[in-house]
Amino acid sequence: MTNNSRSTSNWKVYLFSAIIALAVSFAVIKGYEFTQKDKVTITQVKGVEGKQVLYTADEDGNIKPLDFTDTSKEVLDAVVHIKSIQTRSQSMGGARELPDPFKEFFGDMFKGQIPEGGMQSQPMVGTGSGVIINEKGYIVTNNHVIDNADEVEVTLYNNESYKAKVIGTDPTTDLALIQIDADDLKTMALVNSDDVEVGEWVLAVGNPLGLNSTVTAGIVSAKARSIHINKEKFAVESFIQTDAAINPGNSGGALVNLEGNLVGINTAIASRTGTYTGYGFAVPSNIVTKVVEDLLKYGNVQRGMLGVSIRTMDGSLAKEKDVEFSKGVWIEQVGENSAADKAGIESGDIIIKVDDVLVGTSPRLQELIASKRPGDEVRITVKRKGKEKEFDVVLENANGTTDIVKREKKEVLNLLGADFETLNSELAEKLDLDGGVQVTRLYPGKIRKQTQMREGFIITHIDGKKVKDVEDVAKALEGKSGGVMLQGTYEGSSETYYYAFGMDS
């Protein structure tokens, strides 16, 4: 969103966009295909009058001067403009009254239990970009583009507009997957971002500064870059760095190679001014692929973890730790009973490979591990006192198990714009409840648009009927029309709260 900014030391780091690429020839997820194409071959030959000129070779081996027009034509239709709208009312000194449309529906059912107070609507609009990755209308963007929005509107290259629903988000990688109901969409193929090389030409495509469908060109200036912008607990930063110009509004847009295939989602810039000053950062397509697959298959992202704290190895660290320098990742601490601990990895080990892939920095290690799920086994090669050792590690989730935790993603729950989890027995006992469903995350949808509900709300009743698990919520709302009243509480509160919204509005 154009009004978002974050800072690192004296640098303001602003979040923008670009989309990412898949590492397999065909990844089939619940019947939805995402395709991959090979990279274009770029050669350098002697040009006119002895000058060095870049040329490209097409599929037939024909050589032609480097030109971005074909690539631009290929990608513009697949990049969209995203408008995120906040329409929730702001309190004017009191709790909200039951909205008029619901008074007739509920009658005196909750009379006297909902304090009255005036409300004033203050709509706010932010903009960003997104990339269509599937003919079913799936679009990848940045989480910060749609975060806190009540409605999401997508405008195509031909200026057609659609309301979008949020399929899922992953704040740890700042990615989100949304969907529109449209036909004959132009899509962009995802490629293996490991094949992207420093010095390779790339284009950034998006909607910067209110200028729709803008293309800029540059090169990949670095890989596996971390700028410490994401403050999530398990944040993953392994950006592709580029000097292609990106600005506010580019967030969620495409970073593409010369064949028009996605290699990254443009996400951030480093700037003292708030606009482009030379460096942009994109989430690699391989990370995007993993996030999209998980959101479609499981409803949330499955993150495999080693359970270690790490630092990139350099000369200063080697001197500090009094060890021989070795390019890799220093293990500062190993969590007790973590996946790494169970495998025999120790603090002071230097990770140099993951499944035979060389690892030179902490961001690169994060990227490789983030591509795995709980229960996956990885071979970790470390240097310990100058000698190489290999360990087979079974990755675990944040709870210390290998379980895959699926989240219910029924259509009716998507309309509400929320993730729900059945209340665990420990918390239920603590709150003296015999069951309930907790709202773990809110997206653009009916609940956020029409109520003041906060994440963490525990639903105990719907329209006066008790609910004990997520399936109860889905059953209560399937085929529902008119008004809905949610009753429940928050952890740490002794009060009962009521939230009303309309299924038809």
Whether 349 is a known active-site residue: answer no
CA-angle at 190, arms to 285 and 291, nearest 5°: 45
Using left for φ > 0, alpha for ψ between -120 and 50, and beta otherwise, residue 50 falls in left
Q: Which residues contact 322 (CB under 8 A, 6 or more apart)?
A: none
Q: By the 8 A CB rule, do 289 and 27 touch?
A: yes
Catalytic residue among 144, 147, 243, 472: 144
Tokens standing for residue 487: 């009753």
* Bridge partner list, 500: 485
Using CA atoms, how far residue 110 sits from 2, 66, 119, 483, 496, in Å, is 41, 69, 20, 13, 11
DSSP 50: G
Q: By the 8 A CB rule, do 176 and 142 touch?
A: yes
- Total residue count of the chain as it appears in this document: 505
Count of CB atoms situated within 10 Å of the CB of 311: 14
What is the chain's Cα-based Rg?
25
Q: How far is CA 33 from the centre of its chain?
A: 19
Q: How far is CA 388 from the centre of its chain?
A: 36
Look at residues 232, 228, 215, 209 and name the one whose alpha carbon lies nearest to residue 16.
209
Whether 461 is a known active-site residue: answer no
Catalytic residue among 150, 174, 243, 349: 174
Catalytic residue among 129, 193, 251, 338: 251
Whether 251 is a known active-site residue: answer yes
Count of CB atoms situated within 10 Å of the CB of 29: 16
Count of CB atoms situated within 10 Å of the CB of 482: 14
The alpha-helical segments, DSSP class H, found in 255-284 are: none
Q: By the 8 A CB rule, do 294 and 407 touch?
A: no
Q: By the 8 A CB rule, do 350 and 329 touch?
A: yes
Count of CB atoms situated within 10 Å of the CB of 203: 23
CA dihedral 320, 322, 326, 332 (to 10 degrees): -60
CA dihedral 252, 257, 260, 266 (to 10 degrees): 0
Q: By the 8 A CB rule, do 280 and 240 touch?
A: no
Give the catalytic positions in this structure. Answer: 144, 174, 251
